[in-house]
Amino acid sequence: MSNKTIHFVSLGCPKNRVDSEVMLGVAEKAGYSHVSDPEQANVIVVNTCGFIDAAKQESIDTILALSQHKGGSCEKLVVSGCLSQRYPTELANDLPEVDHFLGSSDMLKLETVLKGQADRILVGNPADWVVSATDPRRISTRGRSAYVKLAEGCNRTCAFCVIPELRGKQRSRSPDDIVQEVEELASRGILEVNLVSQDTIAYGRDLPERSNLAALVKRIADVPGLRWVRIFYLYPEKMDDELIELIATHPKIVKYVDMPLQHAADGMLRRMRRGHGGKRLYDLVERLRTRIPNLVFRTAFIVGHPGETEEEYEELLTFIRFAEFDRVGVFQYSDEPSARAYDLADKVPAKVAAARAKKLMAVQRKISQKRLKALVGQELEVLVEGPSEDSELVLVGRHAGQAPDIDGVVYLSGGPTGVEALPGELRRVRIESTTDYDLLGELLDEDAIALPKPKKKPNSVSPLAHRSSDGRRITLRTV
């Protein structure tokens, strides 16, 4: 085992997780071994989120907490990602504890940092890079699951959002490069791939030969060895019949739609520059529910955006009650100086926004409980992840309607016969009860569902290997 050690903390979205995994691959290629305890690390890397105030504060708090390890075994503290992309000079002045700053597209520059030949600030153009199948990467998601990034950046002009500033314009990967990565993942035993980008519905529009998202997803789903393919961040516009039909009928594409809708009132959607009205959302929800049986529908909304009236907020609640989403994320508006909404009048007081968020989640909690209770008594395929974060004595997994690290889990019991399961297995589970967001299920048999064996030997060299250099599974600490 190498004497050089590195510890990672990845903040924010799954797209950031992919970037962190690339840096982990860079570090292992440079001879560093990953450690889960920062006290044992020679190098600590914090991959930050800088999207909204809460995320920025979380990033700063994490950096300061980990800086306490400087002076011990930690020789270098590295900060990367969106926060350092947005405020490189300010952070360098305010955080003398940090040795190096990398931006949102500077993952491969970590190699220079580890060699000891780097400048302190290495923040480049956010449009300079997008991950490729040839980049070193170590998968950190549990349960034979992985995220695959289809594109980087965004061309939208949503009033509340600064992602184009942090990540640049849309850059789609070529279909062949994506499929090559997925084939490599499947050959290593990955069963589930989760397709992400900032604006997945816009995939391929920027390529010389405008690629079709549905065609790409079908190619991915047809890769031998995969069992579940999940698509994230499908925006309402241009959700065409071809893609809907593919989700509805392909046996490997899970009946799961993640579509950040942000609001439902016409006036708010105009102020947010979302490009559509509320009626379109009602029609789309009905269309998806009708065309995709047993659909699991996840979305996100913003409350407290400038100009949001009480009447518009009530329109949003009415829409949520109509749609009966399985899961909803709610964000309180964050007033970002470089966003278009910053200059809008009629700012909503923070206390009002907080009260609206609390009420919205109370409404959604009852809907979520109702939809979860409908699963009680059903038998589901569950991908076993491993011990619960709360207790190593409790095993957890996910059914196809639960995305990794985002949705709830299935807590697994061996029942009266004491049936056991291993991480990475697909098992038949009968759902016995629910909590607000999780399920409790009983393993039904001794044997795992038959799965294809990985084509490559465990010790073969691969840029997408999902174990560390000493054979242990990587558990990337995320916040």
**3-state SS, residue 380:** strand
**3-state SS, residue 243:** helix
Helix 350-373 to helix 310-323 angle (10° resolution) is: 10
Distances (CA, A) of 421 to 77, 143, 425, 426, 466: 39, 12, 7, 9, 20
Q: What is the DSSP string of 31-64?
A: TPEE-S-GGG-SEEEEEE--SSHHHHHHHHHHHH
Which residues is 301 bridged to in the sheet?
262, 330
CATH of domain 5-128: 3.40.50.12160
pLDDT at 216: 97
Question: Which of 345, 416, 427 lies closest to 383, judged by CA?
Answer: 427
pLDDT at 476: 54
Alpha-carbon span 151 to 82, nearest angstrom = 16
pLDDT in tens, 71-103: 888 999 999 999 999 999 999 999 999 999 999
> What is the per-residue burial (b if ≥16 Cβ within 10 Å, else e) of 432-451?
eebeeebbbbbbeeeeeeee
Whole-model pTM? 0.91
pLDDT at 462: 42
Residues of the chain with CATH 3.80.30.20: 145-373
pLDDT at 1: 43
Annotation: CATH topology of 379-443: OB fold (Dihydrolipoamide Acetyltransferase, E2P) (2.40.50)
Strands 5-10 and 33-34, bridge-based pairing: parallel
pLDDT in tens, 36-79: 999 999 999 999 988 788 888 999 999 999 999 998 889 999 99
Residues of the chain with CATH 3.40.50.12160: 5-128
Alpha-carbon span 451 to 189, nearest angstrom = 9
pLDDT in tens, 102-139: 999 999 999 999 999 899 999 999 998 999 999 999 99
pLDDT at 319: 97
Residues of the chain with CATH 2.40.50.140: 379-443
pLDDT at 142: 86
Cβ-in-10-Å burial (0-12, 13-18, 19+) of 280 comes to middle
Domain 145-373 has CATH 3.80.30.20: yes
Which parts of the chain have pLDDT scores under 50? 1, 457-473, 479
Q: Are 428 and 401 in contact (CB under 8 A)?
A: no
